[in-house]
Structure 1
């Protein structure tokens, strides 16, 4: 398996926060870090207050861009994973349970019931499904360093991630 795919999978497994870039109803950019968990299909889940700006944005426009990276590494040594895809608020309890279980398992907290994310409760469960993925890299143009994005196979990332779930 490609080393970049393996490195991307390591970052996804290690980093517990994603940054969600969304668009406000007024067309303005909005970026939000959220604690996340993922499933074997590489769907990412988070819980947020239904009135948070990013929650409103996702309900208004499901097209989002997500990044994952380790911000603690020295300058020039970091690797970022970039995803384009769709996000939505989950309302089907069966779908919600997958995200709730993943989130609380990762955070090592007691799993809450799906009903605690519906109706008058303030928080909701959200799911991001990537459609494309990239990893950062570098090259040069006429001796000048530039950073680039290299597209990755989502299916190959899933294969490496699923090796984790098989253990």
Structure 2
């Protein structure tokens, strides 16, 4: 197993990248294996839990309903060629269940407030609202270092 995910140099790099970027690229596949990638605005907790808001009828949301395995990439697309760093994750994703909405919404809203965005109300992601909270819990996380090597965080 990798070094403690909260204190290793790779974890510090991952935290810096995640804190500096607003969107992750979410890679999903449908039941037949057809891939799809989409950017989503996200918040993260403990380098492991990624939370976003989406509509259930969007292709990536439908893919998650069919196949929970996802891949995540976070990177700064404005970085000059040869200087890029990135975070990569393998995760399981799902809509946040009703009994966990408060906790996931707290993570999401902390990210919103840190970015100067309005927080979301629970009623905006439950009941008849068109949006739902989604969560991906990473099982593996890596960073791309300055030598373009993939370094395991956990």
Structure showing greater Rg: 1
Is the contact between residue 125 and residue 133 of structure 2 (CA under 8 Å) also seen in structure 1? Answer: yes
In the superposition, the TM-score normalised over structure 1's length comes to 0.77
Establish whether residue 28 from structure 1 lines up as the match of residue 29 from structure 2. no
1:10 to 16, 21, 24: 16
Give 1:118's match in structure 2, choosing from 109, 126, 135: 126
Segments of 5+ residues of structure 1 without an aligned counterpart are 140-146, 154-167
Residue 151 (structure 2) aligns with: 150
RMSD of aligned alpha carbons: 2.1
Name the structure where strand makes up a greater proportion of residues.
1
> How many residue pairs are counted as aligned between the two chains?
146
SS state at 2:136 partner: strand
Structure 1 residue 60, shift from structure 2 partner: 1.4
Q: Which has the higher helix share?
A: 1
Structure-2 change in CA distance of 1:10 and 1:101 (3 Å): same
CA contact (8 A) 1:64 1:84 kept: yes
Structure 1 residue 39 corresponds to structure 2 residue 40: no
Partner of 1:144: none
How far off is 1:89 after superposition? Answer: 0.5
Structure 2, unaligned runs of 5 or more: 1-6
Greater relative CO (CA pairs within 8 A, separation 6+):
2
